[in-house]
Structure 1
């Protein structure tokens, strides 16, 4: 009984290694596609890449104006800091923007690139990597803008901001694991797209981005903490606003979950890869 199981595991392992090798061989294609996508997105826009920054900043500014007076005094140890709530909000927005961009783009990446998949021969694993790279570039622009804004306002982030790249990797892994799974399923079941949109809207309000967890009833806090993005967003907020390191105990299980989802997504992707083009 053990021999067949070992053979199946070795085959799965070799398939995943094959996907990774294919991605490495097509690395220049991936990088050039990210560059073309980035340029094409703002080819006829006067403000260009500024829209990457303006959209989330305007949304955060709206929340800050509407909820700032109500919630600013409820941030732990930050009641006297007038900039605390906007920075708290911007930090959470930074984390959530990266997560949702990867998930939403992965959801439709095979459908959106149906013609490309039918006309060109290239490893399909390049598509999620292009999506991830593009989202990462956008997020770096947003991070730079947020840091400039808070510094101009008079707030200097502490040394623990160095953990942002680590949190970004965890965030990307989680988003890519979820995104690739629903992206494959969406090819065969188009209702998935509608469900994901609703789930993301609900998840936004069950993640402490526009409010502090301490204002939520304790009975509900336990359920909220089952949301992996709860800990990712809190890690960003701790690093930027409170200058404390992330909760590594909690982020360790988020990282483990992200790796499990990535493994599942790679197996699902490999099995469905030959049928994706036919379904499109």
Structure 2
């Protein structure tokens, strides 16, 4: 019986060893999404631009929502909202697809010697491509209305990298569970919808009563959304303690998810 290593070293080495396959697969997935459409990949630019306009009108004009008591700027609210949505959308796209990753690639399990552990990385990098397009739209809009962005924007990768590890860890675990328990997809669909409203995307954490604010931080998206807003819009440095803790926790989650995937993958062929 073949042995698949579940060591932290293998978690890092495997994507690097299969980097050419990952890059080719990501390109195929991105281009395949827009194959046959008239505008093609330009949709990846117009979609976030359109959504940013919609959120601005719906929340700041229709619902008259404001971010903080002293602010009356519709554009400010839209940019603060969109910064949080960029992170949530990346998380949601990857996590919702994770339970079906193995089920939708049965041939890779049964007929082809394929490094199944890279499938979550392909999904993540594809989602990251669209997140980068959204980020470009965000920067363009900020520069148009507020001028040169804060230098703290350069710290964004320090926040995104551990977030990617969190997504990878959860994706590995869910991809494996999805093979053995087909209800996982429905459960995750509901869970991500709940997380969207339980994350400080449409409202600041300070808007909740103090006795409930600590519950919001049990959500793994809360810290990354707040740190993203701090470096992008407010020009604040992320809290070093929170950032270090986030790196540590997400690294452990990534390894646990990878170890679970590697330990359970030997039964995939039997179940499928």
The answer, yes or no, to whether TM exceeds 0.5 is yes
Q: For 2:49 and 2:100, how far apart are their aligned partners in 1?
A: 25
- 8 Å CA contact 1:89–1:209 kept in 2: the answer is yes
1:73-84 aligned at under 5 Å gives the runs: 74-75=67-68, 79-84=71-76
Counterpart CA distance in 1 for 2:252 and 2:79 is 32
* Aligned partner of 2:170 among 172, 178, 182: 178
Give the Å deviation of 1:17.
3.4
Between Structure 1 and Structure 2, how many residues are aligned? 268
State the shift of 1:71 in Å.
2.5
Distance in 2, Cα, partners of 1:17 & 1:102:
23
Q: CA deviation at 1:15?
A: 4.4
Deviations 1:187-219 (A, max 9, x none): 100111111111111111111111122222222
Per-residue CA distance 1:59-105 (angstroms, 9 max, x = gap): 44333222215332x427x6154421111011111111221122123
1:120 CA drift (Å): 1.7
2:29 equivalent to 1:37: yes
Q: Deviations over 1:20-52 (max 9, x none)?
A: 444333221111111111111112112222333
Structure 2 gaps, min length 5:
none
- TM superposition score normalised by structure 2: 0.89
CA RMSD of aligned residues (A): 2.3
CA distance in 2, matches of 1:278, 1:49: 39
- Which residue, 117, 132, 143 being the options, matches 1:151? 143
Q: Deviations over 1:102-138 (max 9, x none)?
A: 2123221111111233232121112122122212222
1:201 aligned partner? 193
Whether contact under 8 Å (2:4, 2:262) holds in the other structure is no
The answer as to 2:74 corresponding to 1:71 is no
Q: For residues 270 and 49 of structure 2, what CA distance do their matches in structure 1 show?
A: 41
Select 2:106's aligned residue among 99, 114, 127.
114
In structure 2, distance between residues paired with 1:274 and 1:242: 48
- Mapped pair 1:87 → 2:90: no
User: For residues 175 and 250 of structure 2, what CA distance do their matches in structure 1 show?
Assistant: 16
Cα shift at 1:253: 2.4
Post-superposition offset of 1:160:
0.6
Assess, with a 3 A threshold, how the Cα gap between structure 1 residues 164 and 184 changes in structure 2: closer, same or farther: same
CA drift of 1:244 comes to 0.6
Segment drifting more, 263-272 vs 118-127 = 118-127
- Report the alpha carbon displacement of residue 12 of structure 1 after superposing the two structures with TM: 9.4
TM-score, normalising length: structure 1: 0.87
Instruction: Quote the residue 1:98 is aligned against.
Output: 90
Tell me how far apart the structure 1 counterparts of residues 211 and 53 of structure 2 sit (CA, whole Å). Answer: 30
| Separation in 1, partners of 2:252, 2:86 | 24
1:218-233 mapped onto 2 (5 Å cutoff)? 218-233=210-225
* Among candidates 234, 238, 242, match of residue 230 of structure 2: 238
Seen in structure 2, the aligned counterparts of structure 1 residues 14 and 220 have a Cα distance that, compared at 3 Å, is closer
Quick check: 1:161 aligned with 2:153? yes
Residues 169 and 253, structure 2, Cα contact 8 Å, conserved in 1: yes
Change (3 A) 1:172 1:20: closer
8 Å CA contact 1:228, 1:254 repeated in 2: no
Cα deviation, residue 158, structure 1: 0.7
- Quickly say closer, same or farther: Cα 1:226–1:198, change in 2 above 3 A: same
